[in-house]
Each structure stands twice: as structure tokens, then as C-alpha cells.
Amino acid sequence: MKTDVVVIGAGVIGGAVAFELAKSGRSVVIVDKGSAAGAGSTSASSAIIRFSYSTLDAVLMAWESAPKWENWSDYLGVVDPDGMAKFIRTGYLVYRTQGYSGEAVRKIWEEIGIPHEILSADQLRKKFPALDAGSYWPPKKIDDPAFGDDAVGELSGLYDPLSGFMDDPMLAAHNYVYAAKHHGAETRFKSEVVSIDNDGKRITGVTLLGGEKIEAAIVVNVAGPHASKINRMAGVADEMNIRHRPLRQEVYVAPAPNGFKLEDDAPVVADLDTGIYFRPHPGGTLNLGGTEPACDELHWVEDADDWRQETTVEIWETMMLRLARRMPDFGVPVSPSGIGALYDATDDWVPIYDRSSLDGFFMACGTSGNQFKNAPLAAIFIRLLIEAAEAGKNHDDEPVRYVGPRSGKEINIGSFSRLRQALVTSGTVMG
């Protein structure tokens, strides 16, 4: 079999890349060892659409991507017969705590013109009465004697009214793949890549488990938690300054208390003061995850095919009790409802959108946890990187740049280079 491009990975970003490349007129084959689009780490995403990142380029990515989520069907140009994911606007609240003031984010928002306001503790309580404004910094494990201590002060909040979430992340990936197929892309599910074929200088294709070869001059690694393995397979891992590897996480669903349901206009909340983020969800529930506070051990995984998917009692109890600190009326459920998931995380929590020294091999890696929202722009970046390479330009020496139509501002794609020095960021899933 022969094609122009092989996209490895059918998650939300893999689907976006396939859609963008197929729409531009290339023949595309999407290969994924899973059984369906979005069935991997995308299915565990909270699918939050927000603009709070530590760097200007990352904020611009989110700001430029947002209209595509808001106008999903128009952007894709098709209606998936299996249903269409929907954007739900909720607004986004960041607690301004000792460990995360949000001031750097606020300054970037000011520069771009993203609407926002600072809420005092009193304003925060009035606008969102289900939420407590106390400061419990730093986040603590539940066996810490100080876990139950009273608040040591009050917090203000940084709030933007335009953020929200996509109601079904796996369906969003399915929509992307359906739209890519509308432009001629083909899918190969339950198919594992075992070799990145090349002649020593450039890509010639991939080999699948079982021996089948797919010839292609371009391969894009969007394999999520398996991406580092694919980069090693291609022989390009050692050239990278930024590492990325699978990180095990747990995400939960819990009953939403009165005052924090969708119909209550509850926002997406980033609460680094207690070490959690959460958002309302249809059906009277909420989604809950962690923000990697210093007191929590990070669970790195060596083999993305060998890890525990079941939740753990200790992490569940910690998350639920942290949430109860922030929402006094939250009734801790008697049993966990959630899943274990794998992120593909980089050293600085900034993704890699880049070429490689192997001609024709491109990567969108380290994206899990905080890049769902940026899939539309990530796909454009990969297309631009491919086009630049075909035109004989060296992105490593002269980074490709993209001017966002919404902001009119330039994004330096080189800021997502595999060769960069680690950036100063929040050091968490916040990016």
C-alpha cells in the first residue's frame, strides 16, 4: 500500500492532523493500535477549552483554536452521522494562590485582548456561592496533620467568561476522523506500527505488526503515550533536548453539589491552592483531576502497554477531600467513579510540534493533559512544517511562523521545538 502521509495515532490531535492534511489534498492513512478514534488517552480528557498558559505562543494557540470548537460543524464542513461533539461555554476561574498568582497569564491576556476580570474573595463568593474562597496553601496529602487546618487567608480569582469544554472528547476525535475520511483519508485500527522504515536519511514508510508495509514519504508521530517509543523506533529520540514519556493520572466523576451544576452557571475551575481542577458536566455531575502539586508523587510509566488502569483508593480519597475543602456542600461519594489514564508529558509541560533530523518524520508529542484545546492549531503547525521542509527550509535554523487570524499576532512554532531548552512554566498540567 502506498500513500502520501501516515499519521500514527487517532486521538484528537492525530485526527486533527489527518483532517488538515487530507483537506489540503494529500492522501492520508491513519494507523492506530486501538479499536476506534479517540479510544486512548483522548477518551479520558476533560476536553477543557481555556486560554491560561505560561507562554504567549501557547495562549495564542488556544485563543486561535477556540472559534473552531465553538463552530465545530462549520469548521469540519461535515455532519458525522454518529453525532457531533458540542462546545459548552461555562467561563473559567483560576484561584490566585501563593503558588500560582495568574499574573503572567493576565498580562498575556491583556496583550492579546482576551476578556477577563479579577474577582475579589467577596466577589468570588457572590458569583459562585458553591465555592469557598479560603487559602489552604500549600496542597497537602490527606495524611498530613495540617490537611484539615482552617484557611490561612482568602483568595481572589482570575476569571474569563469565554472558556468552556467539549461535551464528549472521544466523539470529537471521531468527528475529526470522519471529516478526514470525507477528504479521502483511510483508517487502519487495531494495527500496530513495529518499524519506522527509512533509508538512513529519509522516511520510506512504516511496517505493521504482521509484516504489512505502508509506503509513504511522510510519517507524523501523534501516538500519545506511545509517542516516545515511536521516536526511539525512528532513531530520533537522542537528538531531542526535551524528553516526553507516559505519566499515569487518575480522573474522576462525582455528583455535583447544589450550586455547581451546569444549570447553575458553574465554571471550569483551576485550583492550584489545593492541587485540583474540576468542571461541571451534563447530568448533574462534575469532572475532577489533579494539578501535580509538589506533595504528590508522579507516576511515570516505562511501558505504555503495561500499567494499572484501575483507580487507587488513596488517590481517590485525596482528590475527593481536596474538593470538599473547596466546596463545603460537596458530599464525598462512598465509592470511586473514575479511570486511570496515561498522559504523554514533556519535561516542561509544553508540547513538541516539530520536524526531526530524519527527513519526512514529524512529531506532535507531549500533548496529553493540556493540548486537547489546541488540536486545530497543532494540525495547522504540522502542515506548515511539512510544507516548509518540502520547500527546502530548515525549521531548526529559521523557525516557521504563523499569524493567527483572530489575534493578528505571530506564533513562533519554534517555541515548540524538540531542541529547545526547557521553558519556565507552571510545571503542571496547566502548561
* Cβ contact 272:100 at 8 Å: yes
Per-residue confidence (pLDDT) for residue 334, from 0 to 100: 81
pLDDT in tens, 12-42: 999 999 999 999 999 999 999 999 999 999 9
Please name the residue ranges forming H helices in 300-409: 313-326, 375-390
Please name the amino acid found at residue 7: V
Please tell me whether residue 268 adopts helix, strand or coil conformation.
strand
Please tell me whether residue 30 adopts helix, strand or coil conformation.
strand
- Residue located via cell numbers 462546545: 87
Per-residue confidence (pLDDT) for residue 308, from 0 to 100: 87
Per-residue confidence (pLDDT) for residue 431, from 0 to 100: 67
To the question of pTM greater than 0.95 for the whole model, the response is yes
* Cβ contact 63:112 at 8 Å: yes
- Count of alpha carbons within 13 angstroms of residue 204, beta-carbon side: 8
Please name the amino acid found at residue 279: R
Per-residue confidence (pLDDT) for residue 59, from 0 to 100: 97
Provide CB contacts within 8 A for 253, sequence distance 6+: 281, 285, 286, 287, 288, 337, 338
Provide CB contacts within 8 A for 341, sequence distance 6+: 41, 44, 248, 249, 250, 251
Domains of the chain listed by start with CATH number: 5-85+168-243+348-416 (3.50.50.60), 91-164+245-346 (3.30.9.10)
Q: Give the C-alpha separation, 374 to 150, whole Å.
A: 38
Per-residue confidence (pLDDT) for residue 335, from 0 to 100: 82
Burial class of residue 105 in the structure, from the number of CB atoms within 10 Å of its CB (0-12 exposed, 13-18 middle, 19+ buried): buried
Q: Give the C-alpha separation, 156 to 179, whole Å.
A: 43
Low-confidence residues in the chain, pLDDT < 70: 427, 430-431
What number of helices (H) and strands (E) belong to the chain? Answer: 9, 23
Per-residue confidence (pLDDT) for residue 299, from 0 to 100: 94
Q: Are strands 218-221 and 276-281 parallel, antiparallel or unpaired?
A: unpaired
